[in-house]
Amino acid sequence: MDQSIKPRRTQAERSAKTKTKVLEAARQLIAQRGLSHTSTQDIARQAQVSRGAMLHHFPTRRALIQATYADVLKHEADLVREFARNLEPETDRLRALTEFIWERYQTGVFQISMDYISEARVDAEELRYVSEESQRFNDALNDVWHVELAAFGCDSGTRQDLINEFMCLIRGMAFQSQWRKDSKYFQKMLRDWRSRAHSILIPKIPSK
């Protein structure tokens, strides 16, 4: 058998690839242009698929927008998990994790989230969907946070309070960074928060 001949993909494989292309295109365009300036035609063109093929997977704009939002948050949660798994044992895990999350909030995920929340706030069904998906994302971050900071001698409630504070800080910084381009200003806020957090997150003393 000629090894250079690639086996033909199944219908299911082709369908999955089309769906992935559409979601990737939607994520890119919404991050660049904003939700209100991105049409389904734009997304089909960017994905290089026919409108009919896109409608097969996402028969309405709402279905496509919802799927894209869920895909964006799942993608971000997977990135955080992967980053945490690859941290070296001696790494300052609090600093590494907070810096990485702040970095991700400057790459488009925040803008996309703000667009979805803004559009959903006047639609009870849409807001419920956004809330559920956002909670899944928060749960994923919480899981990583508790695992990575388990070596500190404070209870889980204290760790949870700290990530809640941190995420409120990050979202506020991300909002302000839309017009304030001042990395030193934001880095100082991160350092100040970590300094306070370190005073609470006392490392456990190994038992003899």
Mean pLDDT in residue range 129-145: 93
- Looking at the chain, the domain(s) classified CATH 1.10.357 span 69-200
- Looking at the chain, the domain(s) classified CATH 1.10.10.60 span 11-59
The average confidence (pLDDT) of the chain is: 88
Q: Quick check: 123 pLDDT over 70?
A: yes
Pick the CATH number of 69-200 from 1.10.287, 1.10.3470, 1.20.1510, 1.10.357: 1.10.357
The 3-state secondary structure of the chain, one letter per residue:
CCCCCCCCCCHHHHHHHHHHHHHHHHHHHHHHHCHHHCCHHHHHHHHCCCHHHHHHHCCCHHHHHHHHHHHHHHHHHHHHHHHHHCCCCCCCHHHHHHHHHHHHCCCCHHHHHHHHHHHHCCCHHHHHHHHHHHHHHHHHHHHHHHHHCCCECCCHHHHHHHHHHHHHHHHHHHHHCCCCCCHHHHHHHHHHHHHHHHHHCCECCCCC
Q: Quick check: 2 pLDDT over 90?
A: no
Q: Which fold has domain 11-59?
A: Arc Repressor Mutant, subunit A (1.10.10)
User: Model's pTM, two decimal places?
Assistant: 0.84
Q: What is the pLDDT of residue 8?
A: 67
Mean pLDDT in residue range 12-21: 87
- Model confidence at 60, in pLDDT bands (50, 70, 90)? very high
Q: What is the pLDDT of residue 58?
A: 94
Mean pLDDT in residue range 59-65: 92
Q: Quick check: 150 pLDDT over 60?
A: yes
- Model confidence at 204, in pLDDT bands (50, 70, 90)? low
| Alpha carbons 98 and 96: distance in angstroms, whole number | 6
